[in-house]
Amino acid sequence: MATVVKRLVSYSWQCPRRIAPRYTPTSAIPWQRPFSSTIRPFKDDKSDLREEWKELIEDLQEMDPETFKNAIESGGGMEIDKDDMDLEELSEFDIEPPEPKQKIGFWGDGEEELGADEDYYGDDISALGHGELEQHRELREYARLAAWELPLLSKLAKPFEPPSKATPLRFRYTTYLGENHPAAKKVVVEFCASDMPNLTPQQKDKLIKLAGVRYNPSTDIVKMSCEMFETQAQNKRYLADTINNLLAEARDEKDTFADVPFDFRHHKPKVRHEFPKEWFLTPARKQYLETKRQQQLEKDAALETKGKLIHGAKIIEEALVNQLAAMPVPELVEVAPTRGRGKQRLR
């Protein structure tokens, strides 16, 4: 309950206050200006301050500069008179109990760790603002680091050495820059089957068959990973042991696996289509195509002049004309007048 109230108070701090607690009201009835934006007139106690300052300056002037000097040289504080440190009476051994804790305020009731209620004097930005500033400071800190510290890292750089024949294994680790991540413990190892030392071709084949789907026939690389164990080191150890076992098995002549065919069903080689070289329009090819087209035109023209070019439409027309010509001309026959006895209809 108290927390909610405390939070309410903290939010209320972000709003302009009506009552400033720095002064004590002079009259019994406080003068209130709820909507005023000007500064309250406070009691003028500047004259007292001036006197205090005067005193302090005089005291400082009276001080012997030698004392300071000695103190600095001896490396300690000011000399303490040791004679005064004697403890004679029993009562002097009594240790005063510590001062009672500050009284817990109204808003901290039930939650002592929140401490006493704070007073707000209207001279600070809100907690949200502080958060923003904090973030900005943090960013600036990293920017400073990037500008000043990171270039120094180049001093630590080592020249790249390509892996040699003696180091055919390539391990891959993953870091999440200090964060906890379930995959941070994972270790992946890759090695080329042909790079493994002291393997006859038959043993290499057996190694590939044992590796199963972990073998990629396009690249000749076996890839294995492990995240069984809690730590990276354990996983790496396991991988190394597995590879050793694989090699030992591959070298085992008892069963050479010669009768087992390779199984690459897990691998689908990527098809790459390349633009055919012959299709590139080089000047020579352009020239060739141009002459070919010219020859075609000439060929057609020659056929046309010889009358051997075949026009489909013309052939059909000719055939139709010939058909008509071949058809027997219908003979006109004189119609004999009807001499029927029937009634003739006149119109």
The contact pattern for another protein, residues 207-246, with x = CB under 8 A and - = no contact, is ----------------------------------------
Identify the CA nearest to 112 among candidates 124, 126, 100. 100
Q: Per the structure block, which two tokens stand in for 197?
A: 């030392």
Cβ burial, residue 187 (10 Å; 0-12/13-18/19+): buried
Considering only residues 281 to 320 of the shown chain, the ones binding another protein according to CB under 8 A are 296-297, 299-300, 309-313, 315-316, 319
In whole angstroms, how close is the CB of 201 to another protein at the nearest point?
Answer: 17
Residues 251, 254, 260, 261: is their CA dihedral positive or negative?
positive
Choose the binding region for another protein from 1-9, 198-206, 258-266, 328-336 (rule: CB under 8 A): 258-266
Type and span of the H or E element at 223: strand 221-226
- By CB under 8 A, the count of residues binding another protein is 15
User: What are the CA-CA distances from residue 194 to residues 167, 203, 244, 252, 264 (Å)?
Assistant: 13, 10, 15, 17, 17
Q: By C-beta, is 69 or 299 nearer to another protein?
A: 299
- Residue given tokens 């329009």 in the structure block: 281
Q: By C-beta, is 71 or 320 nearer to another protein?
A: 320
Cβ burial, residue 38 (10 Å; 0-12/13-18/19+): exposed
Q: By C-beta, is 143 or 316 nearer to another protein?
A: 316
Q: By C-beta, is 159 or 269 nearer to another protein?
A: 269
Q: With binding defined as CB under 8 A, does residue 265 bind another protein?
A: yes
Q: By C-beta, is 183 or 313 nearer to another protein?
A: 313
201-211 helix and 232-251 helix, angle to the nearest 10 degrees: 130
In whole angstroms, how close is the CB of 172 to another protein at the nearest point?
Answer: 31
| Choice from 197, 261, 283, 330 touching another protein (CB under 8 A) | 261
The contact pattern for another protein, residues 158-197, with x = CB under 8 A and - = no contact, is ----------------------------------------
Per DSSP, the three-state class of 142 is: helix
Q: By C-beta, is 75 or 261 nearer to another protein?
A: 261
User: What are the CA-CA distances from residue 16 to residues 64, 126, 138, 203, 344 (Å)?
Assistant: 50, 11, 29, 84, 128
Q: By C-beta, is 160 or 279 nearer to another protein?
A: 279
Amino acid sitting at position 159? P
Q: By C-beta, is 80 or 271 nearer to another protein?
A: 271
In whole angstroms, how close is the CB of 272 to another protein at the nearest point?
Answer: 20
Asked whether the beta carbons of 251 and 203 are under 8 A apart, the reply is yes
In whole angstroms, how close is the CB of 304 to another protein at the nearest point?
Answer: 8
Distance, CA of 110 to CA of 104 (rounded, Å): 9
Binding site for another protein (CB under 8 A): 261, 263, 265, 296-297, 299-300, 309-313, 315-316, 319
